[in-house]
Chain A
Amino acid sequence: MANNFYVSMSPHFHSGDSVSKNMYRVIIALIPAFAVSLVFFGWNALLVTAISIASCVLFEWLIAKFLMKRPCTICDGSAILTGLLLAFNLPSNLDWWIVVIGALVAIGVAKMSFGGLGNNIFNPALVGRVFLLVSFPQQMTTWPKTIFQMKVQEAANAISGASGAVADATTGATPLALIKAGQFDQLPSYLDMFVGNTGGSMGEVGAMAILIGLVYLLVRKTITWHIPVSIMATVFIFAGILHLGNPEAFVDPLTHLLTGGLMLGACFMATDYVTSPMSKKGQIIYGVGIGVLTVLIRTFGAYPEGVSFAILIMNAVTPLINVYCKPKRFGRLKK
């Protein structure tokens, strides 16, 4: 009689998928973007990323162990991912203590105070970034130039011989700041924007690298196309309409797509499982909302960049979307 079999309800099969596998897949998908940031910003990028990840993991461990007194959850990889995404949203020359504060807000306030992974309403990395943006506006909007831009500048200086005139040459304006200032003619080329040779946060500059990561995630079925595609399509269409209406005042839609945090936001921040809607219909509404809000903030708001605000606003709307956007039911048509 006592055969000691396991007895459980069906199904007795499992896909073998796990939370940590999904997290690590996203981390793998971020590697190309990280490589781009290393190429363009050098060792500073590595330093900021390392500090961000280390402090996120540390805070998660401390809070889980001493405040919440529950089993440690750092192995699921979500803290590493938050740290990585936070770093990607910061300028590479940020002071280390600001990064630590951002990590504390991201993990402590945005994630653990809601009950840990799965219970947070807002994307932790974005909360951390936005907190830093409003607390340290000076440091957060001083973007270093990429290594190549500096080389080009050096060369130019060498030619012109004006060596003394480059006191603040290590920092430069992002394309979005140029757009805000109406200096469309000074925008970098599409190619530069596509590979990442522009000023900006570390991880957001290389659109190509982010798209490679997106393809990886889609192939591994970690995320579906609905959110990234609906965001990009909305931004493209909305910005396109504005541009057609008045090309003098509004920049072309491709520039919108390739600049700032749009790619990173659409592919990695908005697609965060916890804070995005459950149904496909809801995901598209969410994506469209982010797209519209981003363009609105960028073109009419006070800030040059609006992706993080747009995502956070739509995060807040997600529970509502979940209530009203139900998946397509089988046999829903009653006779």
Chain B
Amino acid sequence: MRTFTIGGIHPPECKLTAGKSIVEMPLPKQAVVLLGQHIGAPTQAVVEKGAVVKTGQLLAKAGGFVSANIHSPVSGKVNKIAEVVDASGYPRPAIFIDVEGDEWEEGIIRSDKLERECKLEPEEIVRKINEAGIVGMGGACFPAHVKLTPPPGKKAEILVVNGVECEPYLTADHRLMLEKGPEIIVGIRILMKALNVNKAVIGIECNKPDAIELLQHLAQPYPEIEVMPLKMHYPQGGEKQLIEATTGRQVPSGCLPIEVGAVVQNVGTIFAVYEAVQKNKPLFERIVTVTGKSLTNAGNFRVRMGTPIKELIDFAGGLPENAGKVISGGPMMGKALASLDAPVAKGTSGVLVMDEAESKRGQASDCIRCAKCVSACPMGLEPYLLGALSEHKDWEGAEKVHMMDCIECGCCTFTCPANRPLLDYLRIGKAKVGALIRSRKQ
């Protein structure tokens, strides 16, 4: 079985909710729709306080090419446009909508009937995806239409579908593949058409044999779609690692995947594309895994964007007494929340409630130079060195040892026997080195 070649770790899987079917979550009383749910330019709100909105109506317009529209996840009245502390830990502008009923915008097809055929031209498809505000749903939230528009001179050759879900605990993509397999296959064919590629490969880690089997069966009529079982290996869901695992090509340092002719899309994104193109449904809901060892009713829920995370936890059985940490996303790359008022956004793949006992980090001691971080780094970097340089604010030195290659996967901190917060310093270093490089270009 294939996997990527450098570094990587094997964290405990903890896929507690793998057997739980997707459950529709009831609508929140008030939806808090963040104006920034993606990487890139912020959006401009097009509704005002007091406006009555329908589900699926445009709330905020993309603020540039690398940006994504935001649609109302509920119907109701705009209460206010104010700030809310989101998963970034800072107050960010958001539209607060008091929910009244659930009236959908006209033109959205609400039936579950599978629409196989798509007769649209590639440009039409990309335009629809752009209008639907679809972003990468794996967590990075990079606007999907940007990836589908290769820069001049570059040509996509293969569509890599990310069904890896290498983060421990998360099962949202797994459930989606099991329950929406036919739709995903249609979505893949739509994207292949949009990209004008004749090959697609779905990478799925072998801890999901049911999903592999199902998709292999569904993809049988389409020889151009290959389902590839992959070895369990974190961070296989990382774009560069997945491309290497599936195609054997390494994206050169500092380049985008299109450099090797690959475009990676998450299965969640693929499903959103299907819904946008075939059902005219913009992106306003997603599957969220709400999980944790002490949650009584952990599961995979279909959630409207803007639902406060507190309501998700309540729906999953309420916050346990011994909760010590709540994470938006998975345990390896997710963000710890300071406030449960933070709403679900396009990139919220999971909510993990950790027990008090497993929440606290161990006491850090001096580096013993065991080189375990070096062995674990999937980018072949030297985290111990980068961490030390970053701690001593030697940004030029850090740049020379390829600080910018870091993908922030957390393998180094995970593996460090001295409990050193390596990634903490690497993140700072990456930000500073990035600023340094930008200032040099100006």
A332 at the interface (CB under 8 A from B): yes
Q: Which residues of A contact B253 (CB under 8 A)?
A: 329-332, 334
Are B366 and A331 touching (Cβ within 8 A)?
no
B6 at the interface (CB under 8 A from A): yes
Interface residues of A in 305-335 (CB under 8 A from B): 326-335
B414 at the interface (CB under 8 A from A): yes
Are B415 and A15 touching (Cβ within 8 A)?
yes
A148 at the interface (CB under 8 A from B): no
A331-B251 CB under 8 A given contacts A15-B414, A18-B417, A279-B374: yes
Are B360 and A6 touching (Cβ within 8 A)?
yes
Residue of A nearest to B11 (CB): A13
How far is A118 from B354 in the complex, measured between Cα atoms in Å?
A: 32
CB distance from B245 to the nearest CB of A (A): 12
Contact of A5 among B326, B331, B384 (CB under 8 A): B326
A76 at the interface (CB under 8 A from B): yes
Contact of B334 among A1, A12, A279 (CB under 8 A): A12
Q: Which residues of B contact A276 (CB under 8 A)?
A: 369, 371
Are A278 and B324 touching (Cβ within 8 A)?
no
Q: Which residues of B contact A332 (CB under 8 A)?
A: 252-253, 380
B255 at the interface (CB under 8 A from A): yes
Interface residues of A in 104-129 (CB under 8 A from B): 115-119
Are B413 and A5 touching (Cβ within 8 A)?
no
CB distance from A190 to the nearest CB of B (A): 35
Q: Number of B interface residues, CB 8 Å? A: 71
Are B252 and A335 touching (Cβ within 8 A)?
yes
Are A18 and B371 touching (Cβ within 8 A)?
no
Are B338 and A330 touching (Cβ within 8 A)?
no
Are B325 and A6 touching (Cβ within 8 A)?
yes
Q: What 0/1 pattern do residues 5 to 20 of A give for CB contact below 8 A with B?
A: 1111111111101110
How far is A18 from B370 in the complex, measured between Cα atoms in Å?
A: 11
Interface residues of B in 1-57 (CB under 8 A from A): 6, 9, 11-12
A329-B326 CB under 8 A given contacts A6-B336, A10-B410: no
A15-B9 CB under 8 A given contacts A117-B368, A328-B380, A329-B379: yes
Contact of B414 among A3, A13, A21, A329 (CB under 8 A): A13
Q: Which residues of B contact A328 (CB under 8 A)?
A: 6, 380
Contact of B410 among A7, A11, A76, A117 (CB under 8 A): A11
Residue of A nearest to B89 (CB): A7
Interface residues of B in 86-120 (CB under 8 A from A): 89
Q: Which residues of B contact A6 (CB under 8 A)?
A: 324-325, 336, 359-360
Residue of B nearest to A273 (CB): B370
B382 at the interface (CB under 8 A from A): yes
Are A117 and B366 touching (Cβ within 8 A)?
yes
CB distance from A305 to the nearest CB of B (A): 27
A278-B384 CB under 8 A given contacts A11-B410, A273-B370: yes
Q: Which residues of A contact B150 (CB under 8 A)?
A: none
Are B423 and A5 touching (Cβ within 8 A)?
no
How far is A90 from B380 in the complex, measured between Cα atoms in Å?
A: 40
A274 at the interface (CB under 8 A from B): yes
Q: Number of A interface residues, CB 8 Å? A: 45
A55 at the interface (CB under 8 A from B): no
How far is A73 from B402 in the complex, measured between Cα atoms in Å?
A: 34
Are A18 and B419 touching (Cβ within 8 A)?
yes
B219 at the interface (CB under 8 A from A): no
Q: Which residues of B contact A327 (CB under 8 A)?
A: 6, 374, 377, 380-382
Determine which residue in B89, B253, B340, B352 has the highest number of CB atoms from chain A within 10 A of its CB, and name it. B253
Residue of B nearest to A115 (CB): B366
CB distance from A315 to the nearest CB of B (A): 12
Q: Which residues of B contact A18 (CB under 8 A)?
A: 362, 417-419
Q: Which residues of B contact A274 (CB under 8 A)?
A: 368-369
Are A331 and B250 touching (Cβ within 8 A)?
yes
How far is A279 from B424 in the complex, measured between Cα atoms in Å?
A: 22
How far is A10 from B382 in the complex, measured between Cα atoms in Å?
A: 18
How far is A184 from B244 in the complex, measured between Cα atoms in Å?
A: 56
Residue of B nearest to A13 (CB): B331
A116-B405 CB under 8 A given contacts A13-B414, A334-B254: no
Q: What 0/1 pattern do residues 305 to 338 of B give for CB contact below 8 A with A?
A: 0000000000000000001111101011111111
Q: Which residues of B contact A334 (CB under 8 A)?
A: 252-254
Are A12 and B354 touching (Cβ within 8 A)?
yes
Q: Which residues of A contact B333 (CB under 8 A)?
A: 10-11
B259 at the interface (CB under 8 A from A): yes
Q: Which residues of A contact B410 (CB under 8 A)?
A: 10-11, 13
Residue of B nearest to A116 (CB): B366
How far is A326 from B410 in the complex, measured between Cα atoms in Å?
A: 20
How far is A275 from B240 in the complex, measured between Cα atoms in Å?
A: 33
B361 at the interface (CB under 8 A from A): yes
Q: Which residues of A contact B254 (CB under 8 A)?
A: 334
A153 at the interface (CB under 8 A from B): no
Residue of A nearest to B359 (CB): A6
How far is A335 from B261 in the complex, measured between Cα atoms in Å?
A: 13
Are A330 and B374 touching (Cβ within 8 A)?
no
Name B residues whose Cβ lies closer than 8 Å to a Cβ of A.
6, 9, 11-12, 89, 168, 240, 244, 250-255, 259, 323-327, 329, 331-340, 352, 354, 359-362, 365-372, 374-375, 377-382, 384-385, 401-402, 405, 408, 410, 413-419, 421, 423-424, 427
In the assembled complex, 7 residue pairs joining A and B whose CB atoms fall closer than 8 Å, in A order, are A6-B360, A7-B325, A12-B332, A13-B331, A22-B417, A117-B368, A330-B380
Extra contacts besides A118-B365, A224-B375, A331-B253 (5): CB < 8 Å: A5-B323, A8-B336, A18-B418, A19-B368, A277-B371
